[in-house]
Amino acid sequence: MHIHTTISELRSALKNRHRLAFVPTMGNLHAGHLTLMRTARQHADTVVASIFVNRLQFGPNDDFDRYPRTFQADCQQLVDAGVDVLFAPDEGELYPETQEYHVEPPAIQHQLDGEFRPGHFRGVATVVLKLFNIVQPQVALFGKKDYQQLMVLRNMTRQLALPIEIVGGETVRADDGLALSSRNGYLSDAERAAAPRLYRTLSGIAEAVRDGDHDYPRLESDAVAELDRNGWRTDYVAIRRQADLQVPMPLENSPLVVLAASRLGSTRLIDNLEI
Ligand code: PAF
């Protein structure tokens, strides 16, 4: 695997490559990321990954400083997954001057996770557009675990006519159902044991909807109450349309997804299930 830390080095290394699949990450890789890397291989002859912890998408009270940075172990995993090229810039390379031009996503950036993380999706969309301009891939892959992020980036790519196919990768779960996430490492043993409740809650809602329960507001508020009774502090549980994450109309027939964010101790976990 070739590792490049500057934009100019990366651009010359990629110049004669045929078809590129790109997987942007913030490092601290787990099986979810590696599944994306392997899927990327099915879409292109060159797989490019990036590792960059993007300050722009963290709020002042978020975990930017303590976000786990495990570069050596990440590189080994990327080699094992057959990644060809890694782009690992530092902040000075990607943001040599204050980033004053941003991608401003539509209202959805202020809803669901965006309500609790102001500026987050603007920071994600801005860095991803910048990375797309640097790497110029034909295909880019993002995990469905960050469902709202995937939707924002898919719609950004379509509306700005970027010549890039966006592919969503299925969430990878531990045996007990907990979605793999870099933030799971913050959980104490007791919290880790309690964490699968989030997935069970989402599964219960998905099953109820499939069985014909369409009282979404009640399903959502019951789920929040149940989580919070068990020591969680829940930001939201929401049943939305898959395509645009808007509230479904009564009796609407479009595909749905149930999404949640909740805190166990100081760790904020998110998860979702397509229904
Ligand atoms: O999902 C992530 O790890 C990040 O939000 C991304 C897409 C790499 C942008 O920094």
- The answer to whether residue 7 scores a pLDDT higher than 80 is yes
Mean per-residue pLDDT for 169-193? Answer: 96
Asked if 30 contacts 68 with a C-beta cutoff of 8 angstroms, the reply is: no
Measured from the CB, is residue 24 less than 6 Å from ligand 1? Answer: yes
Mean per-residue pLDDT for 140-146? Answer: 98
- Of 21, 27, 24, nearest to 40 (Cα)? 21
Give the distance (Å) from ligand 1 centre to CA of residue 241: 23
CA–CA dist 235, 9 (Å, integer): 43
Q: Which of 52, 146, 148, 181 has the most ligand 1 atoms within 8 A of CB, as the residue to mutate?
A: 146
Burial class, 134, CB count within 10 angstroms (exposed 0-12 / middle 13-18 / buried 19+): buried
CA–CA dist 75, 51 (Å, integer): 10
The pLDDT value given to residue 92 = 98
Asked if 152 contacts 108 with a C-beta cutoff of 8 angstroms, the reply is: yes
Measured from the CB, is residue 26 less than 6 Å from ligand 1? Answer: yes
Q: Is 45 helix (H, G, I), strand (E, B) or coil?
A: coil
**Strand pairing category for 46-51 and 165-169:** unpaired
Mean per-residue pLDDT for 196-203? Answer: 98
Rg (CA), the chain: 19
Q: Output the average pLDDT for the chain.
A: 97
The pLDDT value given to residue 251 = 80
- Of 167, 162, 229, 182, nearest to 201 (Cα)? 229
- The answer to whether residue 252 scores a pLDDT higher than 90 is no
Mean per-residue pLDDT for 141-147? Answer: 98
- The answer to whether residue 218 scores a pLDDT higher than 90 is yes
Is-catalytic flag, 102?
no
Output the furthest CA–CA distance in the chain (Å, rounded).
57
15-64, pLDDT tens digit by residue?
Answer: 999 899 999 999 999 999 999 999 999 999 999 999 999 999 999 988 89
In the chain, count of helices (H) and strands (E)?
10, 9
105-126, pLDDT tens digit by residue?
Answer: 999 999 999 999 999 999 999 9
Q: Is the pTM of this model over 0.85?
A: yes
